[in-house]
Structures are given as C-alpha cells and as structure tokens.
Amino acid sequence: MSDPRPPIPAASYSTLGGARIGFANYTWPLASLSVDASNLIIVTTFFGLFETGRYFFHPNQITRIERFGSLPIIGEGIRVHHTVADYPEEVVFWCRPAAVLRGIASTGFPTFSETAAIPSSIPSRGFPLRIGPLVFVVLIWNLLLGYEFSSQPTLAAFPGPCTFAALSLVFVASLTVLRSPSAQAVVLRPGRSFGEVRPTFLLVATITGIMTVVFIFFVLARGLR
C-alpha cells in the first residue's frame, strides 16, 4: 500500500541583491541568489532586461562561504570560494550577510565555517588576461579621448568623432573576444578559461554598445538643430 502522505518539499531560499563576478559589478537588485540542499545559484542581469550570467554551484564545488566587505549595507555581502575553473575566481553576492547565511543554512546546504582555512591545494589563480592586449586598448582609448579634449576649444563640441572611435573600438574588441575563440586565445593567459572573464567582456560590450547608439542619436539631434 502506498504512503498517502505527500513528500516533504525540499527547503529553499532565495533573495535579491547585488554581485561582483570577477571584474564585473552589479548593484542591488541586479542579482539574485537561490539555494536548496544541493544547489546554490547566482544570477546576474543587465537592469533586469536580460541575464548576463547564471552560476551553479554544488556543495562539493564550494570550499567556503564567508562574510565579505566592511561597509554596512552598501559594501558587505558573502563571498563564495569555489573550485569551478570556468567561473571567475571572485564571486561575491552583495547582501546582508548574517541574514543570507542563515537562509542558506536553513536549506541544508553546507556553508562551512567562516574561520575555516581554504585548502592549500587551491591557490589563487592570478590575473587571467595577458597584459599586452589590455594595455594596447587602454592606450588607444586614452590617446583618442586625450586628443579630443585637447583639440576642442570648448566642451560644446564634445563628444566628437574621437569619442565615437574610442567607444566603437572597445565595443568591437569586446564583441570580437566574446564570439571568437581565436581572439580569446590572444587575450587569455595559457591554461585559463574564457568563462573566468566572460561576465566582464559581456558587461563592457553591453555598456559601450549602448553608449555608441546614444552617441549616434546625440550627434544626429545636434545636426538637426
């Protein structure tokens, strides 16, 4: 005879907050955290319009969950120390850490001791990008903007063509790296995964793409005056 009682649902916990995934930072409420006994998931969005990242962790992929930050409310949260090579090394969820740690613990997901040492077999991975390509793009960006500032007699003519060129450069470069494995091999250090920096390139491409479109409309509106 089957048991008529319904199964007990697994405890779960979810909350909104912000996040720092690698070099990409998302303020509240552009990130969410969901947990049950076997999964911890952090999702980031671009102003709630679309997802920019979804990060799954099983208990055996997390070495420690700890409080992070020192500024109450605006600069504190929890950091997830993990072993997933395809994710950025730094994964922080901005929140009220005491409440969120209690919520995670209530699901049965192991949170580990905040004072426990991170295993020495998992050293810091270091910076994942080659310095050369990064310095090249930053140098061209600064040269373009610097030339425009120095050549404009007043700020009335700003932004100009050099600003458009700088934005387009970063947008096209970011989009190329996002879509081309060959470009990823150029910017990544040997043995590193593009998943570690994908959130940063996606965020930069989105922001510079929007700024480029706004710039075009701005120039068109200025020309119609």
**pLDDT by residue (tens digit) across 147-194?**
888 877 665 556 778 888 999 999 999 999 999 999 999 999 998 889
What average pLDDT does range 197-210 have in this prediction? 91
- Residues 30-42 as b/e (b if ≥16 CB within 10 A, e otherwise) read bbbbebbeeebeb
Do residue 157 and residue 210 come from a single domain?
yes
Task: List, in order, residues 6 or more apart from 10 with CB less than 8 Å away.
Answer: 36, 37, 107, 108
Higher pLDDT pick, 133 / 125: 133
Is residue 119 assigned to a domain? no
Together in a domain, 97 and 140: no
pLDDT of 3 higher than 90 = no
Instruction: Report whether pLDDT(9) > 90.
Output: no
Q: What is the pLDDT of residue 156?
A: 57
Cβ atoms of 33 and 111 closer than 8 Å: no
* Mean predicted confidence (pLDDT) in 103-126: 66
Q: How many domains does the chain have?
A: 2
* pLDDT for residue 48: 75
- Identify whether residues 95 and 149 lie together within a single domain: no
86 and 146 in a common domain: no
* pLDDT for 6: 52
CB neighbours of 205 closer than 8 A, spacing ≥ 6? 171, 174, 175, 178
Domain boundary pick from 90, 106, 122: 106
- Of the candidate ranges 117-121, 157-161, 203-207, the one whose mean pLDDT is the lowest: 117-121
Ranking 30-34, 118-122, 149-153, 195-199 by mean pLDDT, the lowest is 118-122
Quick check: is 154 in a domain?
Answer: yes
* 219 — pLDDT class (breaks 50, 70, 90): confident
Task: Indicate whether 62 pLDDT > 80.
Answer: yes
Q: Is residue 118 part of a domain?
A: no
| Rg (alpha carbons) of the chain, rounded to whole number | 22
Q: Which residues form the domain of 29?
A: 13-106
Average pLDDT, the chain: 84
In a domain, 194, yes or no: yes
Same domain, 157 and 80: no
Say which residue, 156 or 12, is predicted with more confidence. 12
**Whether residue 31 is found in the same domain as residue 96:** yes
Domain assignment of residue 152, yes or no:
yes
Q: Is 125 part of a structural domain of the chain?
A: no
Q: Over 60: is that where the pLDDT of 24 sits?
A: yes
155 and 189, same domain (yes or no): yes
Looking at the fold, whether 95 and 160 belong to one and the same domain comes out as: no
pLDDT band per the 50, 70, 90 thresholds, residue 50: confident
